[in-house]
Structure 1
Amino acid sequence: MMITTMKKTIYYNFFPTKAEEEAAKSNPKSQPLPRRTPVEIRDVYPQTLPDPNNPWLIRKVLRHEEIQSSKLVLSFNETFEHIFRYWSMDMVSNILKGKRFYVSIWDVSDVSGLARRYKSNDIFLEEEVNNGGEFYYLGWKDLNEARNFNPGDEIGLFWDVNFGVFQFKLLCQKAAL
């Protein structure tokens, strides 16, 4: 089964506006930075729905820093390919403007099949840009505190397009030292 999505990408505009040119003339040391604008492009190869038996498109081995800070680090590629392609442009634009976007996480790790839901001000997605590149944080404090995670545990995530939530599962738990 195919789902219709529009792929998101970032367009960099390197040409300054007239106002930015005037500001640069008055202060020659300041250079206008390229403006980033998200745009939608049609998928050449539309994404199929995840395999229902193994839907974990984002797999991570937890690091000590992610457990300590209660923020999962997601790469630019993971975020754009497996999350943003299902979001509206307004949702993506808010994050790219430096705002947090509050989400829900359903923990489906329980073998009974019951999902535990997490939604609070500590469950969010936000962007981080630094000299090393661009990545995203998924805040997961409530879930992290409710479970006993260890560095080396493997988790899986995917954005559930049907419910508009992150599905989360502990795939492999490393024994505590």
Structure 2
Amino acid sequence: MSDQRPLLSMKKTFFYNFFPSKAEEKACKINNTSYKIIVGMLIILFFEMFEYILRYWTLDVAKSLENGCSVCVDMCNVTEENVPKKYEGGSVWFRKLPNDDFSLWCIELFNYRRLGDGDEIGLYWDPRSSTLVFKLLSQIVS
């Protein structure tokens, strides 16, 4: 027993320099350009996607989404009930994420509505028209 070595583990440790040097700070000030943050992805949990959307799709389309393909859908924005706006073609699509949740991409709608964290939306699949229906219920003013 005395000739056994204790267990040692080799663990990588990564260090990050949180405080930039003066030279790095000055370079950032010189190259200061304005950047536009693009919002356009909504995370939909696996259970909610399966329960409220995928159950209305054909098996082939659901399998292609499950296998990692992007699936384009039509979306109708009914926030202004008098003038609903349709988003068709390749401007709205679903993708599967590595953690088995799904993402809904509609950059045009999300930027037009200026959606952000804390905004309340309604979203459902209309099986009669095979369309995703979106409504902005409340928005946090920032």
Normalising by structure 1, report the TM-score.
0.56
Structure showing the higher strand proportion among its residues: 1
Distance in 1, matches of 2:91 and 2:133, equals 16
Greater C-alpha radius of gyration: 2
User: Among 80, 104, 109, which residue is 2:50 paired with?
Assistant: 80
Which residue does 2:101 correspond to in 1? 135
Paired letter, 1:154: E
Normalising by structure 2, report the TM-score.
0.69
Counterparts of 1:1-177 in structure 2, within 5 Å, are 68-112=38-82, 114-129=83-98, 133-176=99-142
**How many residues are treated as equivalent by the alignment?**
106
Distance in 2, matches of 1:150 and 1:89, equals 33
* Gap regions ≥5 residues in structure 2: 1-36
Structure showing the higher helix proportion among its residues: 2
Distance in 2, matches of 1:111 and 1:69, equals 24
Question: 2:39, 2:110 within 8 Å by CA — same for their partners in 1?
Answer: no
How far is the alpha carbon of 1:126 from its aligned partner? 1.1
State the 4+ residue runs in structure 1 displaced beyond 6 angstroms.
Answer: none
Instruction: Tell me the percent identity.
Output: 29
* Gap regions ≥5 residues in structure 1: 1-66
Distance in 2, matches of 1:83 and 1:140, equals 16
After superposition, the CA RMSD in angstroms is: 1.5
